[in-house]
């Protein structure tokens, strides 16, 4: 399960390209407030927020610390067990996540330094770093990035 999570995170920089473009473009154009979410709020959301924070100049160590706060405030098992009649496909205790062995579920439902690290290492390896990823892959020019900074920090 740990290796599967590493692989998942390695794929996020490419799989989330269009969503991140839209997310950052909304901020640049002032279309806020906005909500960033996914089913559990730790993998895709954690990666998106990490990219944003890094683009704002927040140190990588601080970004990883922020991501790891998920482990202190999230009870994913409770979330799954209480989502009856929501249309999320998490209807009962027979849900596959709850049927999985606890040691696998614990890895799947946790935020781990190595997970986010795998995504950031993929960006470094494949694109030459976050700045190149933001500019070339996400197509966020320095001018647009300046607007993001202004809209969030000033």
Active centre residues (catalytic) = 38
13-25 as b/e: b if 16+ CB within 10 A? beebeebbeebbb
Residues 6+ apart with CB under 8 A from 40: 74, 76, 79, 109
Cα–Cα distance measured from residue 53 to residue 96, given in angstroms and rounded to the nearest whole number: 33
SS3 of residue 80 by DSSP:
helix
């Amino acid at each position: 399960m740990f290796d599967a999570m590493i692989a998942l995170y390695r794929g996020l920089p490419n799989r989330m390209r269009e969503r991140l473009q839209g997310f950052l473009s909304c901020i640049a154009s002032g279309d806020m407030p906005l909500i960033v979410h996914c089913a559990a709020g730790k993998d895709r959301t954690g990666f998106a927020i990490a990219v944003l924070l890094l683009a704002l100049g927040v140190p990588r160590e601080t970004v990883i610390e922020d991501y790891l706060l998920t482990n202190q405030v999230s009870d994913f098992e409770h979330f799954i067990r209480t989502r009856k009649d929501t249309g999320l496909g998490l209807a009962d205790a027979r849900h596959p996540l709850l049927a999985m062995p606890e040691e696998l579920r614990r890895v799947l439902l946790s935020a781990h330094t190595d997970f986010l690290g795998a995504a950031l290492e993929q960006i470094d390896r494949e694109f030459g770093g976050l700045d190149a990823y933001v500019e070339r892959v996400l197509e966020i020019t320095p001018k647009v990035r300046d607007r993001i900074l202004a809209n969030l920090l000033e």
